[in-house]
Amino acid sequence: MPNIHPTAIVEEGASLADDVKIGAYAFVSKDTILKSGVEVMQGAQIYGVTKVGEDTKICPYAVIGMPPQDIGYKPEDDVRVEIGRNVMIREFVTINAGTKKGGGVTRIGNNCFIMIYCHIAHDCQVGNNVIMANNATLAGHVHIGSFTVIGGMTPIHQFVHIGEGVMIGGASAISQDIPPFCLAEGNRAVVRGLNSVGLKRRFERDDITAIQGAYKQLFRSENAIKETAAKLLASETNEKVLQMCNFIMESTRGIPFERKNNGQ
């Protein structure tokens, strides 16, 4: 049977695996699903239709599944939160449910580490192995690629897409799309180079060399970045380079960079 503290409130109808732990004064709604190994610590609160994957830890006073901060939301809307496996959600994190117009789901992938006071707004899609440092804030409809690290005190504007394997410097402000494998920082943030540490941790030398070559063409050429990306798509075969170029071609908010400050 689940280990539920006598002061916790678990509404009838909630689905809890046998080894779930619920701490003192925690709240779990009737539409919540908690998989094996989940721990909801003291004072944490889970509302609405929320699914939490195996071995995820929700630390004290985090609030998950509250209605979206969107003036178009109606209580009868079918909206929810889905959180993956082995996610660490630290103290005072807030994760809001999706909106009807945004697809209805706010989704967090597997193996993420979301630090104190982070906010993930409605309809955000966060990939696997993402790290959000203290006070990082995602506005609505933001997409974060897997293996991305977001520095502390960093807000990200609504509808922005961040590619896979990106590093965002602390205290940056992101208002445009950041392509995969890049490093961005500043207020407003611009692409400064490649996430070299992240590349070395994950990829073989051939892929890294191909990404470095593509980066130079994309961000140092005098041609428009989408023009260069289109040429690379027609000539390149490396999957990681194609991933970068497709991201750039599909960007709707633009790619922020200054050629004179690109040192990689």
- Per domain, the residue ranges of the chain are 3-141, 199-261
| CATH architecture observed for domain 199-261 | Up-down Bundle (1.20)
Q: Could you tell me whether strands 189-194 and 182-186 are parallel, antiparallel, or unpaired per DSSP bridges?
A: antiparallel
Per-residue pLDDT, 260: 64
Q: How confident is the model at residue 208 (pLDDT cuts 50, 70, 90)?
A: very high
Q: What is the mean pLDDT of residues 181-197?
A: 97
Q: Is the pLDDT of residue 61 over 90?
A: yes
pTM: 0.97
7 contact partners, CB below 8 Å, separation of at least 6: 24, 25
CA distance 52 to 154: 26
Residue 262 has pLDDT above 70, yes or no: no
By annotation, the residues acting in catalysis are 122-123, 140
CATH number of 3-141: 2.160.10.10
Angle at 88 between CA 171 and CA 189, to 5 degrees: 20
- Give CA–CA dist 153/10, Å, rounded: 33
Mean pLDDT in residue range 44-68:
99
Mean pLDDT of all residues in 202-229:
96
Q: What is the pLDDT of residue 264?
A: 47
Question: For residues 88 and 57, is the Cβ–Cβ distance under 8 A?
Answer: yes
